[in-house]
Amino acid sequence: MSIPSITKHPVLAILLMFAANSSWTEESTPWILAKYDLNGDEKITQAEVSQKKQLLFSRMDANQDGDITFEEYQTTDQNRRAALLKARFSKLDDNHDGQVSEKEYAAFMGMFNSFDSNGDGTLSEAEVGLQTDTEAQITRCLLWFCLRTDLD
């Protein structure tokens, strides 16, 4: 029996990440229910995961011909990245004036320092992993740090 590739199954990766995390509770991860619980019953079913996958495929298939070309995939990825950058910038821009001041950026660096437990100016996977105790810390981690874990 082969183990499915995590990179080919992002929903599986999310679910495995939380199953392995001892702090997994409904209270600490409402965003996963909001994203995958399509009928609002506070449960994620296989049917809901399948529906979500179909919806994502449909969004990528711009011409709705049942196939995704490289161009469609690339456009979807570029749009997703642009949205992430805009969201990150918006988080930095506390007063929402369209500019990030030195004070606003320094506030972000204070958050960085809260993750950098050994003070070396870099974030290791272990340091980010230590910060998953509260919803606020999980949210900050998801918004700011996109670390890839090699699960092989």
Give the tens place of pLDDT for each residue, 102-116.
888 778 777 777 777
* 117 secondary structure, DSSP code: T
Q: Where are the domains of the chain?
A: 99-152
Q: Which of 58-72, 114-128, 135-149 has the highest mean pLDDT?
A: 58-72
Check residues 56 and 134 and name the one with the higher pLDDT. 56
pLDDT at 4: 45
Cβ–Cβ under 8 Å, residues 10 and 146: no
Cβ–Cβ under 8 Å, residues 145 and 136: no
Q: Which of 25-34, 41-50, 77-86, 93-102 has the lowest mean pLDDT?
A: 25-34
pLDDT at 13: 53
pTM assigned to the model: 0.47
In whole angstroms, what is the distance from residue 139 CA to residue 29 CA? 9
CB-based burial of residue 127 (10 Å sphere; 0-12 exposed, 13-18 middle, 19+ buried)?
middle
Rounded percentage of the chain residues whose pLDDT exceeds 90: 18
Mean pLDDT for the chain overall: 72
**8, 9, 11 from 5: Cα distances, Å:** 5, 6, 11
Helices 102-115 & 70-92 angle (0-180, nearest 10): 100
pLDDT at 145: 45
Q: Is the pLDDT of residue 151 over 50?
A: no
Cα 50-52-57 angle, rounded to 5 deg: 95
Rounded percentage of the chain residues whose pLDDT exceeds 70: 62
